[in-house]
Chain A
Amino acid sequence: MSARATAATAGRVVRQLRHDHRTLALLLVVPCVLLTLIRFVFEDGSTFDRIGGPLLGIFPLLSMFLVTSIAMLRERTTGTLERLLTMPVGRLDILLGYAAAFAAFAVVQVALVGGLSFGLLGLDVEGPRWAMLLLAVANAVLGMALGLFVSAFARTEFQAVQFLPAFLLPQFLLCGLLTARDAMAPVLEAVSWALPMTWAYDALDRVSRGADGVAGPALVVVGGTVLALGAGAATLRRTTA
């Protein structure tokens, strides 16, 4: 592992996005638009206070997942990954570079969507706002790590975009946001324990309600991120058929 290669890769990913204004705008604006929609879909405001907090963290997860899975897929299909792997660069350097770059974007994204939610939209959470924002960034990084990992299983961008409904939508349904998990069919509840978004939601929800026990699920989110990055590194094979 080399800090130089990691920093160079992070800088390169940031430069790539900087040239792509539309993607950058979508990345930053879409979660804001969605949260605004949620606010006014539920006119009363109390529902927004219940689900707005958790969604503050889940929307960045979704958008980061999508962007990084495509970015990594491109790296694989355009031959740049093959070139990188013949150079003195560690596989983890590449992934950590990606992670650092997208984490930086996540901070901007969460600052925007958090500022909007707590400011204009009047989101009210019981726990500390900084914990909410920190968890939102952690979730965005989790989304990124999952996106890097699943990109290995797509050959085309058509396939990669469908990993969002295939891989994340079920997690969204089961995470406890729509229905409390203990009200689900027992099998689904059992399955939900194994899904990263369940833990992400749990941590966000606890801060939102001002409940205790945030550290546990938050650690699972961080652990899941590390695991996904490691699995992602394993999919960057130097030799292929």
Chain B
Amino acid sequence: MSHLHALPGYLTFGGLRPAPSADGTVVSGTAATATPRASSGPEPGHAVEVTRLYVRRGGQTVLREVSLQIPRGSVTGLLGPSGCGKSTLIRSIMGVQRISGGSVTVLGRPAGSPDLRPRVGYVTQAPALYDDLTVDENLGYFARLLGTPADRVDEVLETVDLDHARWRLARNLSGGQRARVSLATALLGEPELLVLDEPTVGLDPVLRRRLWGTFEELAARGTTLLVSSHVMDEAARCDELLLMREGTLLATETPQRLRARTGEQDLEEAFLRLALHAERPARTATGVAS
């Protein structure tokens, strides 16, 4: 991946964040990380555009005026505590969530459009598998639905390191193995956009690191990834961070800029600082760092 090569791409996507005035020192670092990894021309425009999205469920507002844009060919982390609306936002992007207001555009089409289905891969929070089928049968079924060649099953099993479990029933797998089968399923169709709802929960650190490596490789080949997590140490590996709390988007930042804005090196601390700031009644300041 060449930053120089991809720099014009960054300029295209750069409208994502309001330009900072104070922290000019980190701009170059920011540019480097925020550069979409794909060097061979992703289509122009954003992979995902959410505008003033509202979701109400059972009289409660689950998402409040969420607006965001996700550049193509990047890894975007969706972070926030459990119950903050991450899954609801993800479901809205997948077009399976009934929304109350606003708009969600995915790859230039309204979310949930039939022609998006072959182009988007989705991993639900709970692994969506058939317990009474083997790993091979699970993947074989989804591969046939997608019309992908049979050897894709070999490839995705290798990617998630589950070759050895191929003939076991999904029911007999550990939680982490089930999560990996679910992830493998989403990789089958080589989608342009991969939406992963907490794909690394319950995985050991070695495997987690490997999967994040896989995400980065996919992004380098032009795939856009949206990965939700409540583990802050995963945030550092993202190009972009969406920080959520209580149904609102606190910030859209690169890890570097988040550190710069908050003056915290640790991303967890940085998130806390943003969250505390958001709780203050008078939201006058535009920057967070004092």
Shortest distance between the CB of B193 and any CB in chain A (Å): 11
Shortest distance between the CB of B224 and any CB in chain A (Å): 16
Cβ of A20 under 8 Å from chain B:
yes
Shortest distance between the CB of A4 and any CB in chain B (Å): 7
CA distance in complex: A108, B259 (Å):
66
CA distance in complex: A8, B141 (Å):
6
Cβ–Cβ contact A80 & B117, under 8 A: no
Cβ–Cβ contact A78 & B131, under 8 A: yes
Cβ–Cβ contact B130 & A80, under 8 A: yes
Knowing A87-B146, A88-B145 touch, does A82 contact B129 (C-beta < 8 A)?
no
Cβ–Cβ contact B131 & A239, under 8 A: no
Cβ–Cβ contact B98 & A83, under 8 A: no
Cβ of A178 under 8 Å from chain B:
no
Cβ–Cβ contact B128 & A83, under 8 A: yes
Knowing A80-B129, A86-B96, A89-B145 touch, does A238 contact B112 (C-beta < 8 A)?
yes
Cβ of B122 under 8 Å from chain A:
yes
Cβ of B118 under 8 Å from chain A:
yes
Interface-located stretch among A11-19, A162-170, A187-195: A11-19
Task: Tell which of B120, B126, B131 touches A86, judged by Cβ atoms closer than 8 Å.
Answer: B120
Which residues from B are CB-within-8-Å of A78? 126, 128-131
Cβ of B137 under 8 Å from chain A:
yes
Cβ of A154 under 8 Å from chain B:
no
Shortest distance between the CB of B199 and any CB in chain A (Å): 14
Cβ–Cβ contact B57 & A87, under 8 A: no
Cβ of B165 under 8 Å from chain A:
no
Cβ of A214 under 8 Å from chain B:
no
Which residues from B are CB-within-8-Å of A80? 128-130
Task: Tell which of A7, A8, A12, A87 touches B130, judged by Cβ atoms closer than 8 Å.
Answer: A12
Task: Tell which of B127, B133, B147 touches A19, judged by Cβ atoms closer than 8 Å.
Answer: B133
Mark out the residues of chain A between 104 and 161 whose CB falls within 8 Å of any chain B CB in the assembled complex.
none
Task: Tell which of A4, A83, A88 touches B124, judged by Cβ atoms closer than 8 Å.
Answer: A83
CA distance in complex: A198, B185 (Å):
45
Shortest distance between the CB of B117 and any CB in chain A (Å): 4
Cβ of B154 under 8 Å from chain A:
no
CA distance in complex: A80, B120 (Å):
16
Cβ–Cβ contact A85 & B96, under 8 A: yes
Shortest distance between the CB of A37 and any CB in chain B (Å): 30
Cβ of A186 under 8 Å from chain B:
no
Cβ of B70 under 8 Å from chain A:
no
Which residues from B are CB-within-8-Å of A238? 95-96, 112
CA distance in complex: A85, B96 (Å):
8
Which residues from A are CB-within-8-Å of B98? 239-241
Cβ–Cβ contact B96 & A239, under 8 A: yes
18 other A-B residue contacts (CB within 8 Å) besides A5-B144, A85-B96, A87-B117: A7-B144, A11-B141, A12-B133, A12-B141, A16-B130, A19-B133, A19-B169, A78-B129, A79-B126, A80-B128, A80-B129, A80-B130, A83-B122, A83-B128, A86-B117, A87-B142, A88-B118, A238-B112
Pairs of residues from A and B, 6 with the lowest C-beta to C-beta distance, nearest first: A79-B128, A8-B144, A83-B128, A88-B117, A12-B141, A88-B118
13 contacts between A and B (CB under 8 A): A8-B144, A15-B137, A16-B133, A19-B134, A78-B130, A78-B131, A79-B126, A80-B130, A82-B128, A83-B128, A86-B95, A88-B114, A89-B145
